[in-house]
Amino acid sequence: MYCKHLLITVITCWSLSASAQISKGSLFLGGNLFFSTQKNEDAKFTNTAFSVNPAIGKAIKENLILGIDLTYLNQQTKSNDSTRSTEQYAGAGFFARKYAFIGKGFYLFGQARVGGYYYEANNDNENANDGKGFSVGISAYPGISYEVNKKLHLEAGLANLFYLNYTNAKYSQPNGDTYTNSAFGIGTALSTGTALSVGLRFIIAP
C-alpha cells in the first residue's frame, strides 16, 4: 500500500513538472515602453525622452527561446534660449533565453544577446558638436520569472549584468573640423546601481 502511494506521488510530481515547462513552438512576446519629461529651473532646460523596445521569439525546443528585438530612442533637450539638441538611437538584436522551472510557477532564466544600434545627435547650439555613429556588442544577464497564468509571466532580471561592446562615432565641430572616436568597452551594470529591471512577457503555447 505504501509503495502504491509513493508511486502515485512520484507520477503526480513528474506530471506537474512536465506540464510547467515552456513547450516547443510557444510564441514569446515582450518589450519595454518608456517616456519621461524633466524640467530643471536652475539649469534652465527641459529634457524629454521616449523609447520603445519590442521583442518577439519562439521556443525552438522545450524551455529555449530564440528571438529578435528592435530598439528606438529619441531624446530632446530644449534650453530657455530656444536652442534644442536631439539624440536618436535605432537598433536591433538577436537573443537566446533559457528557462529552468523551479516550482510553484517560478522559473530561473538566463539571456544572451548580440546586437547594435545607430546613433545621431544634432544641436541648434552653434557651440555644440553634431555627431553620428554606431555600436555593436554582446550582453548577458540572469533573472527570475513567475507564471501569473498560462500566457502571462512577471519577471525581474539583472539587465546587462555583463556586456562587451565596440563604439565608433564621428563628430562635426562648429568650425567645420571633424574627428572620430572609437572604443571597446567591457563591464557590468551593477556598478551603475541601475541593474534591476522588471517587466511582463507573454508566452503563448501552440
Tell me which residue range forms the domain holding 150. Answer: 2-204
Q: Cell 528557462 sits at which residue?
A: 99
Report yes or no: 77 and 109 within 8 Å, Cβ to Cβ: no
Distance of CA 34 to the CA centre of its chain: 12
Bridge partners for 85 per DSSP: 77, 123
Q: What's the confidence (pLDDT) of residue 192?
A: 59
Mean pLDDT is lowest, of 28-42, 127-141, 151-165, for: 28-42
pTM: 0.80
Q: What is the mean pLDDT of residues 161-180?
A: 89
Would the pLDDT of 45 be above 90? no
Q: What's the confidence (pLDDT) of residue 27?
A: 98
Q: What's the confidence (pLDDT) of residue 10?
A: 34
Q: What is the mean pLDDT of residues 28-45?
A: 82
What DSSP line would sit under 11-60, residue for residue?
Answer: HHHHHHHHHTS--TT-EEEEEEEEEEEEEETTTTEEEEEEEEEEEEEEEE
How many independent structural domains does the chain possess? 1
Q: Cell 563604439 sits at which residue?
A: 167
CATH number where 72 lies: 2.40.160.20
